[in-house]
Amino acid sequence: MRLVLLGPPGSGKGTQAARLQKHFRIPHISTGDLLRAEVAAGTPLGLKAKEVMDRGELVSDEILLGMLEARLSQEDVVKGFILDGYPRNLVQAAALEELLNKINQPLDAVVQLEVDADSLNKRIAMRSAVQGRTDDNPDSVRKRLEVFRESTAPVSGFYEARGKLALVNGIGTLDKVTDDIQSAIDSVKPPESD
Ligand code: ADP
Residue pLDDT tens, the chain, 194 long:
999 999 999 999 999 999 999 999 999 999 999 999 999 999 999 999 999 999 999 999 999 999 999 999 999 999 999 999 999 999 999 999 999 999 899 999 999 999 999 999 999 988 888 888 888 888 999 999 999 999 999 999 999 999 999 999 999 999 999 999 999 999 998 776 55
With a 6 Å cutoff on the Cβ, whether 50 touches ligand 1 is: no
Q: Is residue 142 part of a domain?
A: yes
Ligand 1 centroid distance, CA of 7 (Å): 11
Rg from Cα positions in the chain: 16
With a 6 Å cutoff on the Cβ, whether 82 touches ligand 1 is: no
Instruction: State the pLDDT at residue 90.
Output: 98
Q: Domain count for the chain, please give it.
A: 1
Instruction: State the pLDDT at residue 193.
Output: 55
Site to substitute for ligand 1 among 29, 144, 145, 152, most atoms within 8 A of C-beta: 144
Beta strands in the chain (DSSP E): 2-6, 28-30, 81-84, 109-114, 165-169
Q: Is 123 a catalytic residue?
A: no
Atom nearest to 32 CA in ligand 1: 6
Q: Is residue 22 part of a domain?
A: yes
Q: How far is CA 126 from CA 122, 129, 146, 151, in A?
A: 6, 5, 20, 25
Return the SS3 of 136.
coil
Q: Is residue 181 part of a domain?
A: yes
Give the domain extent around 182.
Answer: 2-188
Q: Is residue 193 part of a domain?
A: no
For position 58, which CATH number holds?
3.40.50.300
With a 6 Å cutoff on the Cβ, whether 85 touches ligand 1 is: yes
Out of 36, 50, 144, 189, pick the active-site residue: 144
Instruction: State the pLDDT at residue 194.
Output: 56
Q: Is residue 19 part of a domain?
A: yes
Q: Is residue 194 part of a domain?
A: no
Instruction: State the pLDDT at residue 192.
Output: 64
Instruction: State the pLDDT at residue 136.
Output: 87
Q: Is residue 13 part of a domain?
A: yes
Question: What's the burial of 63, exposed, middle or buried (CB within 10 Å: 0-12/13-18/19+)?
Answer: middle
Q: Is residue 33 part of a domain?
A: yes
Instruction: State the pLDDT at residue 189.
Output: 85
